[in-house]
């Protein structure tokens, strides 16, 4: 459509760009957000990853092949890992999350580098990448259930998890949905649904409040 290959798969990434930049602006410019001091860097990297996902995924879907798929997968790991550390920091220990942020981020990046290397030699090993993408999505609900948050509301995290799960369902129904109407595929709808996750996160962190008066010291754990 309009001379753009894979039109809906490409253009549906625009929402990631809009909400990624909106989240980044909010975290960097608002001084009244209920964010733990040591978690701010994780939130910044999270929204940078979401913004870059729009660019990487858009480029891949313009010309789907392995070298562009690399740039599609890399930004997603940059988003997954800081989100995981945010959950750890707000529910388990702020100090632990601060220590884990960069090692986990580097692990996520390495998982894509490893896949790219093994793909180049005909092996295509996605095991570490799959672990990086799906293990946090299994552990996050457990952490939300087992640990008390530093804030008065975690409902928006559950909504975000639900949207992510729904997006994966649409991804699995890609061909079925496209065959039904011949206009838009399940993968394109997946992009739209998944792009609502950062919007939910933005609204959630704007509205929540600390359980106690004022933020705890940066060195204090929150469990």
Integer Cα distance of 88 and 140 in angstroms: 8
- Based on its alpha-carbon atoms, the radius of gyration of the chain, rounded to whole angstroms, reads 18
Q: What is the pLDDT along the chain (223 residues), one digit of tens a residue?
A: 778 888 999 999 999 999 999 999 999 998 888 899 999 999 999 999 999 999 999 999 999 988 899 999 999 999 999 999 999 999 999 999 999 999 999 999 999 999 999 999 988 899 999 999 889 989 999 999 999 999 999 999 999 999 999 999 999 999 999 899 888 999 999 999 999 999 999 999 999 999 874 555 454 444 4
pLDDT tens for each residue of 116-162: 999 999 888 999 999 998 899 899 999 999 999 999 999 999 999 99
**What pLDDT, on the 0 to 100 scale, is given for residue 220?**
47
Domains of the chain as residue ranges with CATH: 7-207 (1.20.1070)
Integer Cα distance of 32 and 12 in angstroms: 32
C-alpha dihedral sign at 154, 155, 157, 158: positive
User: Are 48 and 78 spatial neighbours (Cβ–Cβ below 8 Å)?
Assistant: yes
**What pLDDT, on the 0 to 100 scale, is given for residue 211?**
83
Decide: residue 127, CB within 10 A, 0-12 exposed, 13-18 middle, 19+ buried: exposed
User: Are 36 and 93 spatial neighbours (Cβ–Cβ below 8 Å)?
Assistant: no
C-alpha dihedral sign at 136, 138, 141, 143: negative
**What pLDDT, on the 0 to 100 scale, is given for residue 221?**
45
Q: Which residues pair with 210 in a beta bridge?
A: 151
């Amino acid at each position: 459509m309009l001379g753009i290959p894979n039109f809906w798969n490409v253009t549906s990434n625009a929402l990631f760009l809009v909400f990624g930049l909106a989240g980044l602006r909010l975290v960097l410019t608002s001084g009244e957000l209920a964010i733990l001091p040591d978690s701010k860097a994780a939130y910044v990297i999270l929204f940078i990853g979401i913004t870059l996902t729009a660019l990487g995924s858009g480029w891949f879907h313009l010309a789907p092949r392995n070298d562009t798929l690399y740039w599609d997968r890399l930004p997603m790991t940059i988003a997954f890992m800081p989100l995981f550390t945010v959950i750890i920091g707000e529910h388990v220990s702020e100090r632990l999350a601060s220590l884990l942020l960069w090692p986990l981020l580097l692990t996520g990046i390495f998982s894509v580098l490893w896949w790219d290397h093994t793909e180049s030699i005909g092996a295509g090993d996605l095991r570490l990448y799959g672990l990086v993408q799906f293990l946090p999505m299994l552990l996050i609900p457990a952490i939300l259930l087992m640990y008390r948050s530093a804030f008065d509301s975690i409902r928006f995290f559950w909504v975000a998890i639900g949207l992510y799960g729904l997006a994966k369902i649409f991804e699995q129904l890609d061909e079925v949905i496209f065959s039904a109407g011949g206009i838009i595929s399940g993968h394109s709808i997946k992009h739209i649904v998944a792009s609502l996750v950062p919007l939910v996160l933005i609204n959630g962190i704007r509205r929540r409040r600390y359980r106690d008066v004022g933020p705890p010291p940066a060195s204090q754990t929150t469990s």
